[in-house]
Every structure is written in structure tokens, then in C-alpha cells.
Structure 1
Amino acid sequence: MSQKPIYAFAKWRVKEGQLDTVLNLLTEVVKKSTGEEGNLFYKVHQSNSDANTLILFEGYNDEEALEEHRNSEHFQKIVVGEIVPLLQDREVILTTRLDFGEQDAIN
């Protein structure tokens, strides 16, 4: 039985005055994360109503690939070590997509 892909939605509220620093650090995180074997995509969105709110939308082949990402040197060093201290709040929701038979335009 093959495992289903895991999708992560992370909502980051960046501390006032730290947005440019976080976005610069994210450039490296996105590059390294999308290079991981088990990564399907890594997309960063910014709220239209609050520039300090970022939504990260990530896809991984399975739970093992997600764990490899979380244990990677770049995640531990850049995200945990450098970005998290610049965040006011952070929420991560792990999901599995429900399939209702509709065409998936995102992939």
C-alpha cells in the first residue's frame, strides 16, 4: 500500500520590522527544500491584508519525506535557528488531500 502525499500549511506572523530578513532567509529555504528528493513543491504566499502574515504551502511524497525535511540541516539551521525567533506566531497544519473526483488544476 503506497502512502498518500502529505501537505503542510504553515501560517507565520512575522514580528514587526523583520519581514525583509525572513523573506531573504526563505529564499535559501525554498531552494534547498525544493531540491529534496521527497518534496513535491514549496510555495510561499503573503497575505493581501497583512504583509507580515506568510502562508507556506508544502507538499511531500509521504510522512517519511516530511520527516526528512524537518530533520534536514537547512530546516534546523535556517527555519528553526534563524526564522522562528523572528516570528510572533507560527501554526502548522498537516493534511492529506481528500479526493472528490474533481480535476486538480494545481498539481
Structure 2
Amino acid sequence: MENQNPVHVFATWKVKEGEIETVLNLLETVQKESGKEKGNLFYKIHQSNSDVNTLVLFEGYTNEAAVAAHRNSAHFQEFVLGKIVLLLENREIVLTTPVHYL
């Protein structure tokens, strides 16, 4: 059965030298459109203090189906897969479920 708990995504991107402004500009659109998705809880973009070419995206979704809907969205396909990935040296993604203690 599919996980119905919230899912948080941590995506660490190492941007190619000289491409950070382009990636940040493209991410502005991705963030805006992702925020409109029914299952999106938040979409936050962080830039490393020690390496300006490293970005960490912190995203929240209501469940796994919402993550899948995000990845299948037109803006993810066009901007992230179609443009941004080409400007990255490395891309690591970790999906997590928050742990709640009693």
C-alpha cells in the first residue's frame, strides 16, 4: 500500500560553474508552479554558505502520490528535467517521512 504520510524531499544540486544565476532564475518558476500543486505543502530553495554553486531544495508533499504528481507535472518536466538537469554537475535526491514521537 502506498504511504499516505507526508513526504519531504531533500534535493542537493551541484550547479556547473557559471550557471548558478540561470538555475536560480529557472527555479523561481518551478517554485511558483510547484506551490500551486494540490499536494504541495512547501517548496524551499537554499543556497550553501560555503559553496554558492550548491543548492538544497526542501520540498513537502501530502503523500507519495503528490510527489509522483509533481514529478509528472509540465513545469517539472520542462524546467527541471528539460533545462536545469543539463546545468548540473551532480544531483542527489532523498525522500523522507517525518518521524513523530509520542
TM more than 0.5: yes
Offset, 1:99: 1.0
Q: Secondary structure at the match of 1:7?
A: strand
Show CA shifts across 1:49-90 (max 9, x none).
000000000000000010000000000000000000000000
In structure 1, the partner of 2:88 is 87
Offset, 1:36: 0.3
Distance of 1:83 and 1:21 partners within structure 2: 8
In structure 2, the partner of 1:6 is 7
Query: Which residue identity does 2:64 align to in structure 1?
Result: E
Q: How does 1:12-27 map to 2 (within 5 A)?
A: 12-27=13-28
TM-score (norm 2): 0.96
Q: Secondary structure at the match of 1:22?
A: helix
Distance of 2:8 and 2:70 partners within structure 1: 12
Residues paired across the two proteins, number: 100
Question: Runs (4+) of structure 1 moved beyond 2 Å?
Answer: none
Q: Secondary structure at the match of 1:54?
A: strand
Q: How does 1:26-105 map to 2 (within 5 A)?
A: 26-101=27-102
Distance of 2:25 and 2:47 partners within structure 1: 14
Distance of 2:32 and 2:100 partners within structure 1: 29
Query: Which residue identity does 2:83 align to in structure 1?
Result: E
Distance of 2:24 and 2:46 partners within structure 1: 11
The percentage of counterpart residues that share the same residue type is 59
Return 5+ residue gaps in structure 1 as ranges.
Answer: 102-107
Distance of 1:31 and 1:37 partners within structure 2: 13
Show CA shifts across 1:10-29 (max 9, x none).
00000000000000000000
